[in-house]
Amino acid sequence: MRLVLLGPPGAGKGTQAQRLVAKWGVVQLSTGDMLRAAVAAGSPLGLKAKEIMDRGELVPDQLVIELIDARLDGADAVNGFILDGFPRTVAQAEALEALLEAKGMRLDAVIELVVDEAQLLKRVENRIRETLQAGGSVRADDNPETLKTRLEAYRKQTAPVSAHYAGKGTLKQLDGMAAIEKVAGAIDAALAS
Ligand code: AP5
Ligand code: MG
């Protein structure tokens, strides 16, 4: 199973990817998680990415393309992968196509979780509250102000990626406003069809 999960910040990509990992025995490739790990490790990549991520903007295409290139045919991806948060620009989508072709791979599906912006803000506020209650540390970009910038980046740079896949006939848009289990069921049905 080789799948792209598209959707705005807080749409549920990570939540659904984790369930699909357990179901299909595939690996979740989240560029956001990889970048946060690089920031935490203080690596040169992390140092470059930190301020951009904290502002809620997208990091340069080449940085994430290199991260993904190294993982698509890794040992943990023999059963496939779920791309979560990549591609996020049309240039990334085109680079992904070239990488897959070079590796003799193809995508099985591109699924977009559609959620309106008011709901996204509520979800991020919920996550902040729950994280603080559990004594954890809140993501630096999880606050209402930075969410505005993340949404703007989504509208300008990532929404055209949906149109890109729609034009190729590979896009399946699902209602991401439903409860987590319902969204999961809709993804399973879309993958079976
Ligand atoms: P990234 O880590 O990808 O963040 P994001 O997509 O902006 O947002 P989230 O991870 O918060 O959303 P999600 O869709 O995974 O939702 P989740 O399942 O967590 O990117 C972070 C930053 O890294 C970017 O801003 C950029 O700077 C950089 N970056 C990453 N990839 C990049 C790329 N390719 N190119 C350039 N830059 C890149 O769910 C959210 C919350 O809602 C949770 O609390 C969850 O429990 C809840 N929830 C989920 N589903 C439901 C539901 N159905 N009903 C109710 N609540 C739900
Ligand atoms: Mg996520």
pLDDT reported for residue 9: 97
Q: What is the CA radius of gyration of the chain?
A: 16
Atom of ligand 1 lying closest to residue 5 CA: 14
Q: Which residue do the tokens 């496939």 mark? A: 80
Overall average pLDDT of the 48-61 stretch = 97
Q: Is 47 in the pocket of ligand 1 (CB under 6 A)?
A: no
pLDDT reported for residue 191: 94
Overall average pLDDT of the 42-55 stretch = 96
Q: What distance in angstroms lies between residue 101's CA and the mean position of ligand 1's atoms?
A: 27
Q: Is 119 in the pocket of ligand 1 (CB under 6 A)?
A: no
Residue 2 has pLDDT above 90, yes or no: yes
pLDDT reported for residue 193: 83
CA distance 6 to 63: 19
Write the single-letter amino acid at 37: A
pLDDT reported for residue 45: 94
Name the helix (H) or strand (E) containing 136.
none
Q: Which of 55, 127, 129, 168 is catalytic?
A: 127
Residue 13 annotated as catalytic: yes
| DSSP symbols for 14-27 | HHHHHHHHHHHT-E
Select from 13, 9, 19 the least CA-distant residue to 123: 9
Count how many domains the chain has. Answer: 1
Q: What distance in angstroms lies between residue 32's CA and the mean position of ligand 1's atoms?
A: 8
What is the SS3 string spanning 149-182? HHHHHHHHHHHHHHHHHHHHCCEEEEECCCCHHH
pLDDT reported for residue 153: 98
Q: Is 46 in the pocket of ligand 1 (CB under 6 A)?
A: no
Model confidence over 76-133: pLDDT tens digits? 999 999 999 999 999 999 999 999 999 999 999 999 999 999 999 999 999 999 999 9
> What is the average pLDDT value for the chain, to the nearest integer?
97
CATH of the domain at 25: 3.40.50.300
Point out which residues pair with 30 in neighbouring strands.
Answer: 84
Q: What is the pTM of this model?
A: 0.97
CA distance 93 to 33: 19
Q: Which of 2, 48, 123, 139 is catalytic?
A: 139
CA distance 32 to 122: 20
Q: What distance in angstroms lies between residue 12's CA and the mean position of ligand 1's atoms?
A: 7
Enclosing domain of residue 62: 2-192
Q: What percent of the chain has pLDDT over 70?
A: 100
